[in-house]
Amino acid sequence: MSRVRAIYPGSFDPLTNGHLDLIERGSKIFGELVVAILRNSEKNPLFTVEERLEMLRHETSRFGNVQVSTFDGLLVEFCRLQQAQAVLRGIRAISDYEYELQMALMNRRLEPGIETVFMMPAETYSYVSSRLVKEVFRLGGNVTGLIPQHVEERLRKRFAEVAV
């Protein structure tokens, strides 16, 4: 197994099976994988950072080399603090690639020693995004199989709270 420590950053609001697919596969490639929730005050998340931490820890506890953390500010600064050598990013479509390429090149400019590794999710999840899951669920659609059952239960509870 590699001794490379990687960071898998994201909002994970909510965590999807596509995220879990990348976490599982990334845990086999990297010696250590830190799943890092970005604390972004500009976004209006459905779940708090603490709730997302709990959901991620619940779903990743089976992986011995995966940790869950949070960060704010520049990703490369968090990578330095974590002594990480790589960033793991998922790419579902060409539109993701264009954005991710820009970010990877900027990160390389800021910190040349950190590599970005792109992975495609399993075909089953290639169209799944947190935004789409929230939208479909909000409109009454079925998201079973797109998100972990534990997360789906949390979504039901959250939307029930909002409806009251």
Instruction: Give the active site residues.
Output: 19, 43, 92, 130
Q: What type of residue sits at position 63?
A: F
Contacts of 162 (CB under 8 A, 6+ apart): none
Do the beta carbons of residue 30 and residue 86 sit within 8 Å? yes
Rounded to 5 degrees, φ, ψ at 36 are -115, 120
- Peptide bond preceding 148 in cis form (omega within 30 of 0): no
Q: What is the DSSP string of 20-69?
A: HHHHHHHHHHSSEEEEEEE--TTS--SS-HHHHHHHHHHHHTT-TTEEEE
Q: How big, in percent rounded to 5, are the helix, strand and coil portions of the chain? A: 45, 20, 35
